[in-house]
Each structure stands twice: as C-alpha cells, then as structure tokens.
Structure 1
C-alpha cells in the first residue's frame, strides 16, 4: 500500500479526488497526511476523512530553505520520505515553488499537476498563456518535480481542446475536470508499479 502525503494551498479539489479514490476498496494507496502553506479551505476535506493535517507557513521562517526543512520534517513525521517505503508526495495545488533542498530530499517521489502540455506554458499562468498564444489545444500534465519550474520528467498527459471565445476561467475549469482523474490514475499506476518513476528500478 503506497503512502501518500498531499500538499495544497487552496480549495483542494484534486485532494478530494484522491481522498475519494483512496476510500474505494482495492485502491492501492492511502493518504497519511495533508499539508499546506496556509490555512487552506481544502484542509477540511482531509479533516472530514480523518486524515492528519498540518500548516507550515513560509512567513514564519527566515528563508525558503528553512521553510522547506520544516515542511520536510512534517512529512517525515508521518512516515513519508523516510525508510525503505518512502511513499509519494503529491503537490496538488500547492502554489509555491519548493526549495531545492526539499526537492533533492523527495524527488523523484514528488509529483505535481500542471494545466498545460509541458514543456509548453510552464509557470503560474499556463491557461492564460495558452489563450494569449492563440492555441487551439492545451491540456494537463502530471510530472516529477525537479529543481526547475515545471521542468521535471513528464509522467502522464491529457489533451483539452480550446473552444472559440473561451474565457480563462472556463478553460481552467474544463482542464480541472480532466486533471482530477488523470492524477488519480497516475497515483494508481505508481502504486501498482505500472508507472516507474525516473531513476528508480522497475
């Protein structure tokens, strides 16, 4: 059974999808902790499911690296990132770039979702950028987090057509409808050994 820790910053729709999946009989992973960089509303989903939560605010620390060290320690307290069974950290709407020291500690068992077909449109405004570029198609990517910004190895992608005259908000919502099941299926495949993370033996 794969142990998962989820990191969020906001409403937690991807977290809820993972919690719902983990509650199903036969799902090969369980969520052992949910962390946030703020008092995110999505933490309520974890609390309702009986999953431990924690908040580590960057503003409470003198540097990003120090924040990352405390965040890493919080994950390790729940058995993620240590020992022979390190589990998986899922950044599911964490709206911060993780410090290099944190990434080195957990990657490649550290994954993220991004609302574009990477390597196209990295960064915080991927949906807006795709629209501004006049694209007719975008999508969602699940990828390993490395020390760059949305530059880690791609694990899974799904395509989403851009409709004529579509707003950023509408497109982003349609991408989320695809993002949630793609993330759940990617976690399932990692847990079952179908998807081998880069740098790890199958």
Structure 2
C-alpha cells in the first residue's frame, strides 16, 4: 500500500521511466548505455515506491504510553526550553528519518488537538541543532488524559520540500492514526513533561505506532 501523498509523484515517475525505457530500447544503439539507462530508471522507480510505502499498523492504544510518531532513529534525548508553545522546559525526544524509512507521521497519543501551526523556514540538515526552530516545520499540540499537553513537530530536512499535516485544532485524534507525511528526509521532535519516564535510548531504531517512547508519570498516591 502506498500513501496518498505519493500518488502524483508515483504516476509521474512511472510515466518518465516508461518513456526512458521505450526511447532507449528503440533509438539507442549503444547496448551498454541502453541497459544502464533502463536499469537506472527502474531503480529510481523502486526507490520512489519504497519511499511512499504506507504499511498498515494497528496501534494498541494506551493512554499511559506515548508511541513513536514515525519510523527512524532516536538522535536526541534531552531537557530543553520549548519556546513556541509551552515557553518552559520540556523533555525533547527527536527521531531522524533517512530516505529509506517510512515517512508517514502518526499521532503519538489519543486526545484533542489544541494547537496546529505551519511555519515556513530554512532547509538545514535535519540533525542540525537549529533545525527545530529555523527549518520549515509544523507544530501540533495534543491534550491527553494522562500526560496533559504534549507537542510534536514535523521538521523538513535538506532534502524535504513538503510537509503534510492533517491535524486540525479542536478535533479528537486516535493514537497511531495517520497524522501527515514528510517528503524526502526529515525528523520529528516530541516535547514531553519532564517527569515522563523515557523508554528509548540514543541511536535506538523505533517504529511508528509501535515503539513506546515514554510512559505516564507515576503519581505519589499510586
């Protein structure tokens, strides 16, 4: 299954690849160059199909867990000052997606969307420390039963040129459901309460809607 955001690109790529193969087959007499062009075109088609794949995942919904919003690798776990919405210290967990990862963004928790905003910006490499504040990005805040407000931020990278965000303020969302897409390389930052136990480690590979990123704080009377 392929994500709907890739339909136009997949069709366009298929058309171009078909033209390259047909033209080279009938009009290119240099055999090795013909095969090189045809194989290269097919490889590009395979890469595009892989990038826009959208595997079905049924999240086991749990109010006590924050699930990874994307596939990728954990590159940041630290306490930071979140300047856009909370304007206070939060626990940041950042996940980097390479071009070979699934690039679907999924809701990390169930709740109601309190804030959803798009920001135009730069295209620094996704692991750059300032990319969270200076790159093209979207910020979404979900109010949850156990964690209160949590924030996730889709960030475009050096290759990414389009962020798709489906979250709308006021709507109720379900953990693991499709929340958007980032085209061609990127990262997602999560900003969580400081007292949330983080359950992942740096450089750990995570799976969207499957890997638990953090658990709800334990109350003193529990």
TM-score range for the pair, normalised by the shorter chain length: under 0.3
Structure scoring higher RCO (CA < 8 A, sep ≥ 6) equals 2
TM-score of the aligned structures, taking structure 1 as reference length: 0.24
The structure with the largest strand share of the pair is 2
TM-score of the aligned structures, taking structure 2 as reference length: 0.22
The structure with the largest helix share of the pair is 1
Bigger radius of gyration among the two: 2
